Structure 1
């Protein structure tokens, strides 16, 4: 694990750090940044599912988000906590999209995890009607950043700050 501490921000092997693995497997809401149709930045909350090598987001076909991502598929996704020392995982890359008829299987998993089995199933039954189309948005990160404010701090953090926090960087 020591080799992971020395990896630079951007190295995809940072996905193997305990902080990244924890954030990818915890039912948190992520934030996805992308460029809108009007070339203005967008930042939206998204539910996600980590498959082991891809972060999956489900969306309904025909939305502005899908239109915008088809035109400009480069995104940045942030998953973080605010309690205790913050933990932050930032992923960047280009998304791929595929449209499916009915409820996207990964979306169903996300809803059951977030709402609970009974409420999730009721919600999924209510929306799974003829004509429903969803889009699977997949990100295989090409850039990964991890901050845990214990072993990994933002670059150029002043030495006085690191010393005050007891960091040995």
Structure 2
């Protein structure tokens, strides 16, 4: 089984995770950090993990609370804080030889990097073999829409699906 684990506040990272899982192929699943239990992770062949970039790294308790006070769009859609932060999930990650990859959702510019590198570093430290370098998918800073995943830049889901396919092919070449 292959899994794509994500932290997503406004649905953008969740949509990218689902597209990556589509690219990984049949049986791959996109799971929130709360759904991806240590037992599921231990049974996975490939673990791809992703989160949004907050202040050039993974979301923190403070940045998640800040998101709570910033509903999105005209209808003021609240941030989804119902799942475990990626930082906590990574801290509880079962060690072991598995294949992995890391991604983030980010705005363009110098402040839009860092979460995927932090995730990749933790995966490697926990014994994972990375299938590719950390990958970023672009989101816009603001939207007037109040539906999940409306901040994604055009074409990002196609790029995520293609990257999932690339990861599956890399994993196949390592077997």
Q: TM-score, normalised by structure 2?
A: 0.26
Task: Give 1 or 2 for the bigger CA radius of gyration.
Answer: 1
More strand by proportion, 1 or 2? 1
Task: Considering fraction of residues, name the structure with more helix.
Answer: 2
